[in-house]
Structure 1
């Protein structure tokens, strides 16, 4: 296999890589546009002259203003934490698709409430609305990676889950630039800051409408006794007939895995909680949480939510200049995300990208911190002109973005979406998403105070955590690229970790050859059942 070739677990018909699976992933990923937009627009909106004037920021002391800004930003993450846990409940009873309906409506309600804020009513509607919007995106952040991974052929699962990350970056790109646009084209009135808040409704509305088209996850349907519907959806998304050997194999894999977990864990809302007593399940929950600790420990959300503060710390002054620099940051992230999505995640692999991103990103953070320590740019740039050292710091900031974006930005979501077994997948993803939002909350809540107290030390802190993440991944996280969802238990049981993927892929290919030699009889009760199912699928 070459670096740019897809590695398949078994021979895969070209029809499997069809537009339906990509379109379904794209529609679900409007949820990521909601999340990405918020993470980008809120920090610069808080710095808009119209917003600071409307809510009288000038009357606050530096520490009180830092606390207010932290509260405005972080209540969103707090809501998202609880939303990601609530998604386990809705997923169990409603399924993946209806859960996305529900959480998109919750977000729309929250975004609408924010628009009621003004200088007379105060900032309370924004805070209340952000709690509700956070609840919506938290639930969606749980559902979308699961939904996409359960639809995806193994060889392109990383790419398809990566569409979720691409949606995040597209939303962020709009969020980073919109305030530059309103600040340069509109007067500093109420409308200037209301427009960025109102734009949140666009991706949420597109997700809500898209849920009328997408299908339910076939694996969820099989797991909940809706076998016929699950088979029809599986054939629809694979663009194959139910008699195709690829479909027969996939259904048998699903059945075998569901049967095994029915015997080992059992079915029911509380059964996955009982599975938490098993060390192998606890271990994957721990790995999922730690991946998001290190993701947030890279410093990304400190930059996303407080980009004007970050750029001011390296000597960039002026509202428009700060917004422009932030906008370029968004462009760099989006372009590199496209490269990661199309060429890296399913070819280079998860582990290797995490190593490269952490090593390169850490070096960049050390340089930026050292520059701030030596030059003190934030206190000496009254003229607004950048020194050569400052220009180098900005370069290393964008270089850090180039290392971080194709590695720690989306890869933890990909790994968490695929490493749990069928009975604990919803609960595992709920735990992973909750961990993401918990660490996100910690960073967003305390970043303003960290910059006030630690200054350049903030960058050294993030650089150190990125070094620790290399050790963590090398010894504990196996490569999940190209492994079928139903074989993840076997992957995580193999040692040594760094060779587990290759050993399992060799085994799977040998097993597939044997399976095909044995002339599979299928999974239909009789010929009449086969013909009837084929007719129903073709009519869809």
Structure 2
């Protein structure tokens, strides 16, 4: 194999191993979907305590996203992912062993710390390892692994739920399986090098060049090293990233864009489907076993849609994909709300709702899912990337927390139809935000994007908006 072939294989191996963090993210957020019904009986949950158990992971993820970003800036992306693998392992086993609501909530919170930390660290690590021309494709592989983890959770839930129907302990088996990918992630990351950009920030230039030579051609490695060094030289007078950096107008602007993108992704209600999909289908009229099996369709379409989205990212700009995705998800919400009213009590309703949730996820996971995570990994300057991504992903998880907490309450009190009309209204507001505020980032290196944002006010961002697709 040629030297270039070895570099390509090694980079692909790095991506595969590190994205097991995304697989764990997906499995641990998706497994509750099928485990909740039997857990409700075993632990004596009601609509409110269901929301608390589900959302305790999300508040942990919000905190983990901030602390994970800061930790990765301090000790490195690689070491942070190793720490997260250990936390994933023990928290998953704790959830499976829980005998009370408080213990379950505590373990779900710890699991959330790992989920939030991986949500920040893995995309940043991938963005810093990837060459500019492949960044979109490689970073969105983490999104593919997230939805693959959710699909695995749905399939395993269905298999265990159907074959062990009647067992009060079925949810414990579902939750414990999450410990296995954590083992693979830990031992795999022991063989993975550190991000060259992080090494350069720490003044370890020779180590950075050695890593670049492992994943780039010689000339490309030297050129990229020089570009990163030039960017760092520009920022030589900048102190360590703190919240005071947000006082700089151009930094504050991109942080607000990042927060907006994070909120937009979550107010689509995607995680109401991923956490409560089985409950939604039961509410529409399916039996428990049929709902578990039908819910696997949500996982399958999510994986297929992300694959299509990864292909589209190489062909189409980020903004057009965001707008197309929001139009599709908002329309799906409207149709779910309307059909739930028109077909109430009909035998056709559960199948219509399943078809529309699948359509919703096709738009969501093929556009908004991968694009938002990619843009969050792209738009922030190197020195404050961990801090800013942490802030934005914190806002993402807080939004997710409130949706996870209140969705079962809304489903019980106002019904399926009104709940999805609320999501549709939020979707219209999101379309307006993206149209007015979000710039194009496709086709720029990370260093060029930083230069464009720094010089916002003349034509830099306008050029970014109108960059050919």
Provide TM-score, normalisation by structure 1. 0.82
Q: How far off is 1:14 after superposition?
A: 7.0
Give yes or no for the alignment of 1:36 onto 2:26.
Answer: yes
> Aligned pair in 2 of structure 1 residues 74, 392: CA closer, same or farther (>3 Å)?
closer
Give yes or no for the alignment of 1:367 onto 2:335. yes
Find the partner of 1:337 among 306, 311, 317.
306
CA distance in 2, matches of 1:16, 1:486: 27
Separation in 2 of the partners of 1:395 and 1:129?
34
Q: 1:16 to 1:486 in 2, by over 3 A?
A: farther
Is 1:308 the counterpart of 2:278? The answer is: yes
Which of 353, 356, 360 pairs up with 2:321? 353
The structure that is helix-richer by fraction is 2
Contact (CA 8 Å) 2:268, 2:427: kept in 1 or not? Answer: yes
Contact 2:259 2:391 in 1 (8 A): yes
Rounded to whole Å, the distance in 2 between the matches of 1:16 and 1:151 is 15
Partner of 1:193: 171
The count of residues paired between Structure 1 and Structure 2 equals 463
Question: What is the CA-CA distance between 1:391 and the residue it aligns to?
Answer: 3.8
The answer on 1:73 being equivalent to 2:54 is yes
Aligned partner of 1:480 in structure 2 is 441
Query: Structure 1's 501 and 23: CA in aligned 2 closer, same or farther, altered over 3 A?
Result: farther
State whether residues 363 and 463 of structure 1, in contact with CA within 8 Å, keep that contact through their aligned partners in structure 2.
yes
Q: CA deviation at 1:421?
A: 0.6
Corresponding residue SS for 2:442: coil
Q: What is the TM-score of this pair, normalised by structure 2?
A: 0.93
Q: Is 1:295 aligned to 2:256, yes or no?
A: no
Superposed, 1:164-203 pairs within 5 Å as 164-203=142-181
| 392-401 vs 133-142, which moves further | 392-401
Question: Which runs of structure 2 are paired with 1:381-396 in the superposition (5 Å)?
Answer: 386-387=347-348, 391-396=351-356
What CA distance in whole angstroms lies between the structure 1 residues aligned with 2:384 and 2:10? 27
The separation in 1 between residues aligned to 2:418 and 2:170, in whole angstroms, is: 35
**1:440 is matched with which residue?**
400
Match of 2:129 among 142, 151, 155: 151
Change (3 A) 1:102 1:280: same
* Residue correspondence of structure 1 range 36-75 to structure 2 within 5 A: 36-48=26-38, 51-57=39-45, 65-75=46-56
Query: 2:369: which partner in 1?
Result: 409
Equivalent of residue 413 in structure 2, options 453, 456, 469: 453
Instruction: Tell me the CA shift for residue 338 of structure 1.
Output: 1.6
Structure 1 residue 297, shift from structure 2 partner: 0.6
Tell me the CA shift for residue 112 of structure 1.
2.1
> CA 1:107/1:394 → structure 2, altered by over 3 Å: closer, same or farther?
closer
Contact 1:346–1:482 under 8 Å retained in 2 = no
Q: Distance in 2 between matches of 1:212 and 1:426?
A: 22
Show the counterpart of 1:111.
92
The structure with the largest alpha-carbon Rg is: 1
Q: What is the distance in 2 between the residues matched to 1:394 and 1:137?
A: 28
Question: For residues 53 and 396 of structure 1, do their structure 2 counterparts lie closer, same or farther at Cα, with a shift above 3 Å needed?
Answer: closer
Residue 424, structure 1, aligned to residue 392, structure 2: no
Q: Secondary structure at the match of 1:276?
A: helix
**Counterparts in 2 of 1:15 and 1:428: CA distance versus 1, 3 Å:** farther
Given that 1:477 and 1:497 are in contact with CA atoms closer than 8 Å, whether structure 2 keeps it comes out as no
d(CA) in 1 for partners of 2:314, 2:6: 16
Q: Is the 8 A contact 2:263 2:395 kept in 1?
A: yes
Whole-angstrom CA distance in 2 between matches of 1:208 and 1:372 = 45
Q: 1:321 deviation in Å?
A: 1.0
Please name the residue that 2:234 is paired with: 260
Q: Which residue of 1 aligns with 2:77?
A: 96
Moved segments of 4+, more than 4 Å: 13-17, 494-499
Which residue of structure 1 lines up, in the alignment, with residue 63 of structure 2?
82
Q: Is residue 491 of structure 1 aligned with residue 465 of structure 2? A: no
1:202-227 deviations in whole A, cap 9, x for unaligned?
12111111111111000000011001
> Does structure 2 retain, via aligned residues, the 8 Å contact 1:77–1:441?
yes
- Structure 1 distance, partners of 2:374, 2:401, is 21
Ranges in structure 2 where 5+ consecutive residues have no aligned partner: none
Asked if the contact 1:475/1:498 (under 8 Å) is kept, the reply is no
Residues 225-251 of structure 1 deviation map (CA, whole Å, 9 limit, x = unaligned): 00100110011111x22xx2x223211
Candidates 267, 275, 297, aligned match of 2:245: 275
- What does 1:318-333 correspond to in 2, within 5 Å? 318-333=287-302
Alignment partner, residue 469 of structure 1: 430
Separation of aligned partners in 2, 1:393 and 1:102: 41
Partner residue in 1 for 2:115: 137
Q: Residues 272 and 423 of structure 1 are in contact (CA less than 8 Å); yes or no, is this contact kept in structure 2?
A: no
Measure the CA separation in 2 of the matches of 1:394 and 1:114. Answer: 29
d(CA) in 2 for partners of 1:408 and 1:78? Answer: 22
Q: Deviations over 1:175-218 (max 9, x none)?
A: 11212111211253354221111111012111111111111000
Please give the secondary structure, in 2, of the residue aligned with 1:348: coil
User: Within 1, Cα distance between the matches of 2:463 and 2:419?
Assistant: 36
Deviation (angstroms), 1:92? 2.6
